[in-house]
Amino acid sequence: MSTGPAIAVAVTFVWLGMVVAISFVEAPLKFRAPSVTLQVGLGIGRLVFRALNTVEVGFALVILAIVAAVPTPARIAVTFSVAMATLAIQLIAVRPRLTRRSDQVLAGLDAPRSRAHYAYVGLEVVKTAALLAAGILLLTV
């Protein structure tokens, strides 16, 4: 395996690990911790997901550069496209809605639960599956 694909494998599995650890482990558990109020949990969550999303964009750019520079089988390019499109939808369409609701809660308002949260989780599942598939496919090249 040459350097580009090896880097893509490493970045893919680190990205996958970060998404699983933060979205499916840390995020739900923080609200079960003693003395963590909704406001504190939301404040922490905003910081953590802003950092995660920033790193994800960086990882997506690295993978995009490798896919553009090195001949890549279509099935791998498609799985990465799904992961990157999912990230874009989360950042452009879903996160702003979640931010508006968390702004209201942090301001002390009794805001109703947002369905955007379910959309974000669903997109995380899609992104996780796409990254797992891309990583496995990269290992077969």
Q: How does DSSP assign 2-49, residue by residue?
A: -HHHHHHHHHHHHHHHHHIIIIIIIHHHHTTSTT--HHHHHHHHHHHH
pLDDT at 95: 95
* pLDDT for 52: 97
Q: Which residues of the chain have pLDDT under 50?
A: none
Domain-wise residue ranges, the chain: 3-139
Residue 139 DSSP code: H
Q: How many CB atoms lie within 10 A of CB 110?
A: 6
Beta carbons of 120 and 96 less than 8 angstroms apart: no
Instruction: Name which of 5, 132, 2 is nearest 67 in CA terms.
Output: 5
Chain centroid to CA 29: 17
Could you give the CA distance from residue 2 to residue 127 in angstroms, rounded to a whole number? 26
pLDDT for res 110: 83
Task: Determine if the pTM surpasses 0.85.
Answer: yes
Q: Which of 119, 125, 134 is nearest to 19 (CA)?
A: 125
pLDDT value of residue 79: 98
- Residue 114 pLDDT: 82
